[in-house]
A and B are shown apart, each in its own frame.
Chain A
Amino acid sequence: MQKYSVFSLVKNALSNHENWDLAWKDPTPKKEYDVVIIGGGGHGLATAYYLAKEHNITNVAIIEKGWIGGGNVGRNTTIIRSNYMHDDNALFSEFGMDLWRRMSQDLNYNVMFSPRGIINLAHSDAQMNTYARRGNSMRLNGIDAVLLNREEVKEIIPMADFSDNVRFPIFGGLMQPSAGTARHDAVAWGYARQADDMGVDIIQNCEVIGFDVSAGKINGVRTSRGDIKAKKIGLCVAGSTNILAEKLNMTLPIETHLLQACVSEPVKPVLDKVVTFGAGHFYISQSDKGEMVMGGDLDGYNSYAQRGNLPTLQHVLTEGIAMMPFLSKLKMLRTWGGIMDMSMDGSPIIDKTHIEGLYLNCGWCYGGFKATPASGWTFAHTIAQDRVHELNAGYSLNRFNTGHLLDEKGLGTKTWIS
């Protein structure tokens, strides 16, 4: 494979950029693979990459209904963090942070991981205490966290509302300095390019029609491009999980919801942190291009529509202005929606299933992007070894039955408000 570097860029420039290699090929599906990953999103691509890299399993196909990276990995607000309270979530995410820090070099693809820090704003002493509980938990888990008072927050983000004309004054915040953002598309493309190079077949425009299951074992998958045999199949389809589960006669603790995001027109650098509002649900960062990237609540009813409604955005942006009044003068440029696999406790599932050889990776709610490397890594492990790794042991499917829930927000099963 061509290595990307300044030298390769210069060299190709001098040959008029006519000699760049394909980032990934476009193979026709083979009849059989050792492993088939369904879903060419970030998690699926990462899983294939780690199967090849960590477990030397390269006879792998990723099958994708549309084009790779077209789902949530290309529709998120690019935030990467590990500021979780529950140990299972925290240790898993922090493992992911390590992978993020090395990702550009590992993949030889600049994913622009930018550890600019995230601040969760608090608007009461009670909220400061809730954040302290989470921050202390992070620290005891070896994750960086700093509790900021009002003055400290003001120094870092003076554009937040510190005036008297504010409904919920800022009391302080919890900061994870090592959190940040990355270029979302690049993550998908970088994993795809390396996986492809190690022999993984990336098969786009290939829709799953059904599964071949017999005697409790998976044998293969039926697709719009023919039947493909595999003894191991990983399901990694986020918002489409329920659709495929139906084909497997499985009913999962997952509901599908729409999350919108929007960007403003690009402006010169004004905000260099990721900031979340504490008196509602709003988060913001500024992209390298200069756009303010913003998001918040779900549209609030089951949806596969990938199109959102304005009242939700109005609500989200109302909180945006409450937090940073200067946003009022910016213009909303682009909006989009992503389909979220909302689990009943807000935490994901990476596990084996009752069908031998069928593995499940879902329930990411709106936290899937940051989990891409760790999810791929642990899912690859689970598939390759046919057992969960200790990092994803807490993400079991039967935790809903046993009561070992991982509810970061304490909102329970009302997925549409969580």
Chain B
Amino acid sequence: MLYIKCPHCGMRSQNEFSYGGDATIKRPELGKEISDQDWDNFVYNRKSLRGKHWELWQHISGCRQWIKVERDTATHEIFNTLKANEEISL
């Protein structure tokens, strides 16, 4: 069971969180013209990296905040966690 540092609550076990997928995907701005390709890249296409992966988790049984977690998808090592409003530096 992963041990995730919620930036708001501290170290918590994975079963308090729910997963939210790739954190680097940015929703296109509302009302803006966008190509099919760009829209598909937002909705469907994923890099799903092996290795370091920025991803979203929600501390659903805790503070209910969405957080950004940098985890190695091959070893599950967690390097960093950020609050929702903190920018990922790749």
Contacts and interface: CB of A to CB of B under 8 A. Distances in A.
Query: Is any CB of A less than 8 Å from a CB of B in the complex?
Result: yes
A401 interface: yes
A304 B73 contact: yes
Nearest to A251: B45
Nearest to A344: B44
B14 A256 contact: no
A290 interface: no
Contacts of A344: 43-44
Contacts of A301: 2, 19, 55, 71
B53 interface: yes
A256 B48 contact: yes
B46 interface: yes
B48 A401 contact: no
B27 interface: no
Interface size bracket, B side? 20 to 34
A243 B36 CA distance: 24
Nearest to A341: B48
Contacts of B74: 303-305
Interface of A is mostly: mixed
Interface string A285-305: 000000000000000111111
Given A300-B19, A400-B40, A414-B21, A305 B45 contact: no
A309 B21 contact: no
B71 to A, nearest CB: 8
Nearest to A243: B50
A309 B15 CA distance: 11
Interface string A407-418: 000000111100
A252 to B, nearest CB: 6
Contacts of A414: 21
Contact of A242 (B36, B43, B47, B76): B47
Contact of A253 (B1, B46, B49, B53): B46
Interface of B: 1-2, 14-15, 19, 21-22, 36, 40-41, 43-50, 53, 55, 71, 73-76
